[in-house]
């Protein structure tokens, strides 16, 4: 006698003599259903050729299998994100894909938080990925208050209840500056991103610590802050040259700003590294193709993206809040 194929959870529930909710829980391995009942329901479903499709499974779990990357709209001068962000994005999408998750990009403003409720209550996303350079404390507080699963790149753990993946920016800033000191440089300038950002502060503190260890007094006139863009890197380099023509080295907090600084030095008739040595940060793909190839502190963007995906998915599946730290690594090329 041919086995009757059932088509719905209601069919399985009728055959098993239980409610539809019990069938749904059993097929989703819910601990609310005893092992014996789960096995009996699964056996009935298998006998009658029933399989819960992905959309029904996600609906029953209130899961979308979508994760959102939250960022600010880019300024008109930033036609695309810098290479390092794109490398993180490539690793993030690959890591999510490996666990059957999709990525949604959300652009918001620093003072806007309504997106949190909108995406959570609609069930459009299961969790969020944020970049420390492009989120605010208000965003973090609101997400925590809603109990939303999320992970932040570039923000060291500080006892708060969210997952993080971060590099060792203090060690990176120190390594970059030590390389310049080893090469005999004494008038070492600093080009940072926005001074309010944790990564920038940590890199500056590493820079200051290396100067102090070498017996070099910190000169505030050699410290500038931009906004991560190439335009700001060039503008900060011009400002530094106006302040001190004797400067012989520059540590820039991103490869994009470092390469713009090199181009500005060339425009002012300065050779690199002959007159001024330059060290960047990130080791984005463009670093090895600059003129000269850029000495930099490596942060492997694709690896960071994959770790962000894995950390958030682990939190979604188990509720575990975890913190991952990536060690800094100096990559020596021709610019310093």
pLDDT level of residue 23 (50, 70, 90 thresholds): confident
Per-residue pLDDT at 113 exceeds 80? yes
- The span from the CA of 94 to the CA of 102, in Å, is 10
pLDDT level of residue 1 (50, 70, 90 thresholds): very low
Given this model, what pLDDT does residue 58 score? 47
For the domain covering 169-298, report its CATH number. Answer: 3.40.50.2300
pLDDT level of residue 6 (50, 70, 90 thresholds): low
DSSP annotation of 152 reads E
Given this model, what pLDDT does residue 74 score? 63
Given this model, what pLDDT does residue 79 score? 43
9-61 has CATH 1.10.260.40 classification: yes
Q: In angstroms, what CA-CA distances link 175 with 204, 268, 279?
A: 11, 27, 10
Diameter of the chain measured on Cα atoms: 94
pTM to 2 decimal places: 0.76
Given this model, what pLDDT does residue 77 score? 52
* 9-61 and 66-167+301-327: identical CATH topology: no
Domains of the chain, residue spans: 9-61, 66-167+301-327, 169-298
* Proportion of the chain above pLDDT 90, given as a percent: 56
pLDDT level of residue 92 (50, 70, 90 thresholds): very high
Nearest CA among 162, 171, 123, 124 for reference residue 143: 162
Report how many helices (DSSP H) and strands (DSSP E) the chain contains, helices first: 12, 12
What average pLDDT score do residues 144-161 get?
A: 85
| pLDDT tens per residue, range 59-90 | 445 578 899 999 877 655 544 456 788 899 99
What average pLDDT score do residues 200-218 get?
A: 97
Residue/partner pairs of 260-267 with CB below 8 Å, 24 or more apart: 260/230, 260/231, 260/232, 260/233, 260/234, 261/191, 261/233, 261/234, 261/236, 261/237, 262/290, 262/291, 262/292, 262/294, 262/335, 263/234, 264/233, 264/234, 264/237, 264/238, 265/237, 265/241
What average pLDDT score do residues 89-110 get?
A: 91
DSSP annotation of 161 reads S
Residue bearing the bigger pLDDT, 77 or 8: 8
66-167+301-327 has CATH 3.40.50.2300 classification: yes
Element (H, E) at 325: strand 323-326
């Amino acid at each position: 006698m041919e086995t009757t194929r059932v088509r719905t959870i209601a069919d399985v529930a009728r055959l098993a003599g239980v409610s539809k909710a019990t069938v749904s829980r059993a097929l989703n391995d819910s601990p609310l259903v005893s092992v014996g009942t789960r096995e009996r329901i699964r056996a009935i479903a298998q006998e009658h050729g029933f399989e819960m499709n992905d959309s029904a499974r996600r609906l029953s779990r209130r899961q979308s299998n979508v994760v959102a990357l939250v960022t600010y709209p880019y300024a008109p001068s930033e036609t695309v994100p810098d290479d390092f962000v794109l490398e993180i994005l490539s690793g993030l999408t690959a890591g999510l894909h490996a666990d059957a998750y999709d990525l949604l990009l959300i652009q918001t403003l620093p003072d806007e938080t309504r997106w949190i409720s909108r995406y959570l209550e609609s069930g459009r996303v299961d969790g969020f990925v944020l970049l420390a350079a492009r989120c605010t404390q208000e965003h973090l507080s609101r997400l925590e208050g809603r109990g939303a699963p999320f992970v932040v790149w570039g923000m060291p753990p500080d006892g708060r209840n969210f997952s993080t993946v971060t590099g060792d920016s203090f060690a990176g800033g120190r390594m970059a500056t030590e390389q310049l000191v080893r090469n005999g440089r004494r008038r070492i300038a600093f080009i940072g991103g926005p001074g309010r950002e944790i990564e920038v502060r940590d890199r500056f503190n590493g820079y200051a610590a290396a100067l102090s260890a070498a017996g070099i007094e910190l000169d505030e006139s050699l410290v500038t802050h931009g906004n991560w863009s190439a335009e700001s890197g060039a503008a900060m380099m011009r400002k530094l040259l106006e302040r001190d023509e004797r400067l012989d080295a520059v540590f820039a907090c991103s490869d994009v700003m470092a390469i713009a600084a090199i181009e500005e030095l060339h425009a002012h008739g300065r050779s690199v590294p002959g007159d001024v040595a330059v060290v960047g940060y990130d080791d984005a793909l463009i670093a090895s193709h600059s003129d000269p190839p850029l000495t930099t502190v490596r942060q492997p963007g694709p690896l960071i993206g994959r770790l962000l995906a894995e950390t958030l998915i682990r939190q979604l599946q188990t509720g575990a809040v975890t913190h991952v730290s990536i060690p800094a690594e100096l990559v020596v090329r021709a610019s310093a």
